Structure 1
Amino acid sequence: NIINARLRGKPGLFRVALNGERIAAIVPQTDVVAPAKGNDLDAGQNLVVAPFVEPHIHLDATLTAGEPKWNMSGTLFEGIERWSERKEITTHDDIKTRAKKTIGMLVDHGIQHVRTHVDVTDPKLTALKAMVEVRDEVRELIDLQIVAFPQEGIESYANGRALMTEAVAIGADVVGGIPHFENTRDQGVSSVKFLMDLAERTGCLVDVHCDETDDPQSRFLEVLAEEARVRGMGARVTASHTVAMGSYDNAY
């Protein structure tokens, strides 16, 4: 049981009775009660809420700012360059250590559900393999979803399609993409069609970095939305960082 709990929008204190992993009953209390030895968790008259969600984080890259050098322009594209340099010296243990430290910080702030993008533009898939292990090792703390994220592109990176396919086979839960970062508009479109094919075939969810730029000509969101519509996959598809929408003209 959770005792001495406050609930949103309700006056007074409550006891939340648990049955295994489920809430069995919520019972009003007339006053503060002392916890029964070993059976009760005392909320201390604090608010009890459902756990928070972190829907978008990059746990493989966390806690690396300034390594090997700082992003002096403060721009996204220099940030990607700095990560590409850091990625060259990343190891399996390095990723697990940093990811677990960050997960501890998330848990301390009430977050229980986490979706992490993991860079798979790496011939060895070092980060992905490490994060699959982390997902299992932190299962008692958080529910972790892993996105196979092609930071340097699917079509524009050597063997990008094969790496994405292998990442899903190894255990990625979600298929990612970055169409605006591909070398050409046509490659961006074909990358979306490829990742949607892969997700549809394997039953994975989709979460695409889509138009993360202020370029008003970056219009891959329409491509992703249409692919989701015709395949009937809308509920499974997320478009992240749709920044270019803020630059589109009113006619479009």
Structure 2
Amino acid sequence: MRLENVRLHQQADLYDIVMENGLIQSITPAGSDRTAPVDSIDANGRLALPPFVDPHVHLDTCLTAGEPVWNRSGTLFEGIQNWSEHKKTLTHDDVKSRASRALQWYIGQGVQHVRSHVDTTDPSLTALHALLELREEMRDLIDIQLVAFPQEGIPSFPNGKQLLEQAMQLGCDAVGGMPKQW
């Protein structure tokens, strides 16, 4: 695939970008190396940008506002309390459907890399299983990094440490947390 006649950041000249298997193979002055027949798109002088990144999202909780109740105070404490109630009703399909919808929106806006925290204080790790599956299914469209996040704490949640370790063994990329006094 070749993008023809693109502008690069702070450059007045136009360039051609040749890509293969999703990776840039070459960037050359526009028209200087068009010997190989490849599919091409003429950018007509538009700017080529790197993909956008969202370094912190919670795909397991996305699109759940008002479930089970609205966060009337708007505080993090009430939000965590509401999530604690909502996660008791999570299903694999629900998490996957909501997260997939959110990821489609991301992709449509040029986001190619997402780092999502996923709550590991759920005894069955429902959301984690759904997001691991979705990460694999969408891998050609968007890069999803999963952060094992013990929302209700490691020592304060039954089997918190074991669930966190299990999340890492299942395929989380990192461990996240928050200070005790936030």
Corresponding position: 1:72 with 2:82: no
Corresponding position: 1:17 with 2:14: no
**Aligned residue type for 1:141:** L
Structure 1 residue 18, shift from structure 2 partner: 2.5
Q: String of CA shifts for 1:171-230, please: whole Å, max 9, x gaps.
A: 1111122341xxxxxxxxxxxxxxxxxxxxxxxxxxxxxx6x3xxxxxxxxxxxxxxxxx
Work out the percentage of aligned pairs sharing the same amino acid: 50
Aligned partner of 2:149 in structure 1 is: 149
d(CA) in 2 for partners of 1:66, 1:117: 20
d(CA) in 1 for partners of 2:152, 2:41: 47
d(CA) in 2 for partners of 1:127, 1:68: 17
Provide the TM-score with structure 1 as the length reference. 0.66
**Aligned residue type for 1:80:** I
Q: Which has the higher contact order (CA 8 A, sep 6+)?
A: 2
Provide the TM-score with structure 2 as the length reference. 0.90
Structure 1 residue 38, shift from structure 2 partner: 6.8
* Contact preservation (8 Å) 1:149, 1:177: yes
Aligned partner of 1:42 in structure 2 is: 42
Aligned partner of 2:28 in structure 1 is: 27
Aligned partner of 1:4 in structure 2 is: 5
Q: 1:91 to 1:3 in 2, by over 3 A?
A: same
Structure 1 residue 60, shift from structure 2 partner: 0.4
Aligned Cα root-mean-square deviation (Å): 1.9
Q: 1:20 to 1:160 in 2, by over 3 A?
A: closer
d(CA) in 2 for partners of 1:103, 1:44: 29
* Contact preservation (8 Å) 1:153, 1:179: no
Q: 1:37 to 1:104 in 2, by over 3 A?
A: farther
**Aligned residue type for 2:27:** I
d(CA) in 2 for partners of 1:131, 1:48: 30
Note the residue ranges of structure 1 that are not aligned, 5 or more in a row.
31-35, 181-210, 214-252
Aligned partner of 1:102 in structure 2 is: 102
* Contact preservation (8 Å) 1:154, 1:177: no
d(CA) in 1 for partners of 2:166, 2:49: 39
Q: String of CA shifts for 1:55-79, please: whole Å, max 9, x gaps.
A: 1100000011111211000111111
* Contact preservation (8 Å) 1:150, 1:178: no
**Aligned residue type for 1:125:** L
Aligned partner of 1:57 in structure 2 is: 57
**What SS does the corresponding residue of 1:11 show, helix, strand or coil?**
coil
Corresponding position: 1:164 with 2:169: no
Structure 1 residue 19, shift from structure 2 partner: 4.1
Give the number of equivalent residue pairs. Answer: 177
Which moved further from structure 2: 151-160 or 41-50? 41-50
Aligned partner of 1:175 in structure 2 is: 175
Structure 1 residue 167, shift from structure 2 partner: 0.8
d(CA) in 2 for partners of 1:140, 1:126: 24
**What SS does the corresponding residue of 2:155 show, helix, strand or coil?**
coil
**What SS does the corresponding residue of 2:96 show, helix, strand or coil?**
helix
Q: String of CA shifts for 1:13-45, please: whole Å, max 9, x gaps.
A: 221123444323222237xxxxx9970123343
**Aligned residue type for 1:158:** P
d(CA) in 2 for partners of 1:9, 1:129: 43
d(CA) in 2 for partners of 1:169, 1:81: 27
Q: String of CA shifts for 1:127-174, please: whole Å, max 9, x gaps.
A: 111111011000001111111100000011111001111111111111
**Aligned residue type for 2:78:** E
Corresponding position: 1:133 with 2:140: no
Structure 1 runs (4+) greater than 4 angstroms displaced: none
